[in-house]
Structure formats: structure tokens, C-alpha cells
Amino acid sequence: MGQDGILQPIGNRLALGHDVSRTFSLPLLAAFYPFLSASIPAKKGLSMTKDEILLAQKEFLFPAVFNYFKDPLVVSHAKDQYVFDIDGNQYLDFFGGIVTVSVGHCNDQINAKVHAQIDKLEHVSTVFVNEPQVALAQKLAQITPQQALRKSFFTNSGTEANETAILAARCYTGSTEIIALRHAYHGRSAGTMSLTGQSTWKLGPPQAGVVHAVNAYCYRCPFGLEYPSCEVKCAQDIEQVIRTTTSGRVAGFIAEPIQGVGGFITPPKEYFKIVTDIVRKYGGIFIADEVQTAWGRTGSKWFGIEHWDVVPDIITSAKGLGNGMPIGVTIARPEIADAMKGVTISTFGGNPVVTTAAKAVIDYIEEQNLLRNTEETGAYLRGRLIDLKDKYQLIGDVRGMGLLQALELVEDRRTKVPATAATLRMMEAARENRIMIGRGGLYGNVIRLSPPMNIGRADVDEFIERLDASFAKVEAAMLAGSQRT
């Protein structure tokens, strides 16, 4: 399995110990890789053909670098809400490079500022002061909830942002123990894999000092209860977790406001207030991992956690902040940032080109009033998805906020058996219908949608039409299959 979908097994690796772009026999290769078509000329400035790219990928990358689809989609270029493959097909992108292309591919306004900066100052490292990094940090301090989180530390990824947050929590509290949630995803370092709550993503030995509480997964309540009569038992249970599985003094609680890789699992409105009060009572701080939910994605607010009326102590983010440029950020209350005594450095963190891009993204979101767009267009998308749920039994749950919406697919609405195979078929059908969607969830049965935040209703209509056609195809195939057996 892959992080955001299924791993397509690599099978027998070819021992091409030479330049694949010049010498290989297509018929021979086609025997190994039936999806390879006749060699297709390079597109848009690419110097390799599709087949050469696919072969080089298999030969020279770790097989852990998984791809969607049996016949992997080789991307050539992209613009705004559209992605083009090397065969010249155009896709309407409703996944945004895994919740990352926040304001459209190769956005002209952002890229003009990036081009200007790259010609002016490309790198200097944080041991020399530079304006783009400081300007971004200042802007972030203005938009955090109640302007309470005022100091930033920049890195290159969400993983590093979370590592920094955990370190800061431990320095500030003097405690080491962290509470994380089941079904969470927090990164790929040893520490953040330990925080992660899905076996697929825990590759190495776990680090000590992390316990996992049950998450607020109302569709599959871990206590078998119904909201609201459950009185949000999953939140109340955190007190028992602290008292029975920790020393009773914790460094903090880390959670995604909406669990992203987990399948856009969205807690009820009381959840974070209850949990935060408990965690603070036992000396801990609250870290909101907003790698997927920040920057207006959830509609009307800059940060997802604002929908729960809680001010966290640290926010971490990455992905959408750079619209594709690699950036991670840990934003903390000043006293927590100040508690990280000593010195630390991230060579590329705060890079002037990347921070220029990030500041440009925030300015663009403001200028284009995208917080309103994610709320309004998100509500429209949600309505159209609910209509599809009425039409297709396969859809068990529609959830999310703003332009972060998911469909959980089940074989039977009563038993809720995860429809993992059907979800894979949906991925292929969606590709045939030229839309890009994501996959997630512990069982790989959740379709994740996170289009660029500047799309409009016409894009939603086009997308729904194609998604509808994809569901129709999958349901028809399933029906034909069940009639045969």
C-alpha cells in the first residue's frame, strides 16, 4: 500500500545497467510490462519518451516510491486546475498533488514573484538574515488564531514541522510523553512514524514516549456509539489514556483537525475543546497538525482548528502553503518557541525563494477572497456529492469541510464492510474519465477530494459529471460480476 493509495507492485526488476534511453527492445519489455505502449515521443520539452521514463523509474528509484494505477500516469505539465499526461490527455485535478496545489498549478501571479526572487537571491541559509523569511513569519503571526501563535520555524516538509513541534513541546513542558490518535498520519521520520496511527505507514521500530488514543471516527465509532448521545466519549477517554498509559504528566497532544491520509475523518464540534482542556490539565500542550487543513482549505477560516473554537499552542503545516514549493512551518506561542534553548538549523528552511512563494500564496488567497470560495464552492461540492450518495449504494459516508471532501465506499451500508476493491476500480474509472482523485483511509476505501481552492462551480459540475460516469461504470461492472457468480 502507498501513502495515498495502493502500491502497484514492481515485480521483476530489469537489470538494465546502462542508459535506458538508448538501448532496450520494446517487445521484450512489453512482455515484462504489458502496459507499455509503443514508444511515444516526448511532450512539452521532455527529453525521454513515456516508456523510457517508466523504465528509468523502475530501475533507478526505490520501489517504495509507489504510483497510482496499473499503468502509471506519467505527467507532462499542468496549468491551473488541469494536468496533462505525456500522451496529451487533459485531467481535471481534484486532488491537487495530495492537497498541495492550493491556488492552481503554475499560478502566474505566484510564479512571477518566484522568478523575480530566484534571480535575486536563491539561497543564503538562516545564519544570515533575509527579508522573505521574516516577511512570511510576520504575515503568519497576523493570521494565526487570535494572533496567539507568533514565532515560526521553517523547514522543508510536514514531517520536519512535526518533529520541531514535538521537540518544542518537550523542551517547554519538561515532559516527554505525547498522545497521538489512531488513524493519524504525521510523517515519515522515525519520530513522526511513531506518532502515526496506521500500520501501513509505520515502517521502522517505534520510538518510546507515544501513546495512541482512539479517534473521533463517527462513521465507525470505536465505542460503537452514536453522536450526540455518545457525549463525545472518544474525547472524554483521553483522560483515561493519560491516567492509565502515561506517567500522568504529558508533553502534549498532537492531532490533525481533520485526519487527512486517514480519510478526512472529521470530529464533532465539541471534540477539541474537551480534549484540549484535559491535556492542559495534565501539563501538556496542543499541537494542531494542519499540514492538510490550513490556508483556508476547510472554508472561511485560515486554519481548520478554528472551526472547533480552540486556540492550539503550536500549529504545524506544509503542503498548500507553498503551492508545490517545498516548505514546512512550525508556528508556536512565543513562550514555547523561546523554551527551545540552544541552537538548531535547517539548511534549506526559510529559503528565500520558497518563502517568497509561500507569502505570495497567502497574499493571493487574501486578494482572491479564497476563504469565502472554499466555503461556498465547498458547500456546493458537498451538496453534489450527497446527491451522488443518494444515487449509488457504494457511497457510505460523505464527510469533510470546505474544499476537503471525502467519500467512504462500502460494500454494504448496513455492515459497512470497506469496499477496497471497488475503490481501486473507481480510481481507474476516474482516470479514464479524465479526473484526478485521491485515495486514503486505513482500508484504502476512501476517495479524497482537494481541488485547487480557486476553482468555481463550473469545475465542480464538470467534475461531478465525470465522477458520476465513473461510479456508473464501477457499479455496472460490479453488478455484472455478481450476476456471473
Stretch that binds ligand PMP, among 35-43, 154-162, 209-217, 228-236 (CB under 6 A): 154-162
Measured CA to CA, the distance from residue 154 to residue 147 in angstroms comes to 18
Nearer to ligand PMP, 50 or 439 (CB): 439
158 binds ligand PMP (CB under 6 A): yes
| Least gap, CB of 157 to ligand PMP (angstroms) | 3
Closest C-alpha among 361, 452, 462 to residue 94? 452
**Residue choice 289, 306, 408, 475 for contact with ligand PMP (CB under 6 A):** 289
217 binds ligand PMP (CB under 6 A): no
Q: Which residues pair with 314 in a beta bridge?
A: 287, 332
321 binds ligand PMP (CB under 6 A): no
261 binds ligand PMP (CB under 6 A): yes
- Phi/psi of residue 150, nearest 5 degrees: -125, -10
Measured CA to CA, the distance from residue 378 to residue 405 in angstroms comes to 8
314 binds ligand PMP (CB under 6 A): no
**Residue choice 218, 235, 291, 294 for contact with ligand PMP (CB under 6 A):** 291
Q: Beta strand 151-155 with 210-213: parallel, antiparallel or unpaired?
A: unpaired
| Least gap, CB of 263 to ligand PMP (angstroms) | 12
Query: Who's near 344: CB < 8 A, 6+ residues apart?
Result: none
Measured CA to CA, the distance from residue 316 to residue 159 in angstroms comes to 9
Instruction: Give buried/exposed letters for 67-104 (b at 16+ CB in 10 A, else e).
Output: bbeebbebbbebebbbbbbbeeeebbbbbbbbbbbbbb
| Least gap, CB of 186 to ligand PMP (angstroms) | 5
**Residue choice 67, 76, 81, 159 for contact with ligand PMP (CB under 6 A):** 159
466 binds ligand PMP (CB under 6 A): no
Residue type, 447: I
Nearer to ligand PMP, 1 or 48 (CB): 1
| Least gap, CB of 372 to ligand PMP (angstroms) | 24
425 binds ligand PMP (CB under 6 A): no
Stretch that binds ligand PMP, among 74-82, 181-189, 233-241, 460-468 (CB under 6 A): 181-189
Q: Sign of torsion, CA 226 382 184 133? A: negative
**Residue choice 187, 296, 352, 440 for contact with ligand PMP (CB under 6 A):** 187
Measured CA to CA, the distance from residue 234 to residue 167 in angstroms comes to 26
For ligand PMP, how many residues bind (rule: CB under 6 A)? 15
Packing angle of the helix pair 352-367, 131-143 (nearest 10 deg):
40
Stretch that binds ligand PMP, among 38-46, 69-77, 158-166, 437-445 (CB under 6 A): 158-166
306 binds ligand PMP (CB under 6 A): no
Q: Do 362 and 139 meet the contact criterion of CB atoms below 8 Å apart?
A: yes
Q: Which residues bind ligand PMP (CB under 6 A)?
A: 157-159, 162, 185-188, 256, 260-261, 289, 291-292, 318
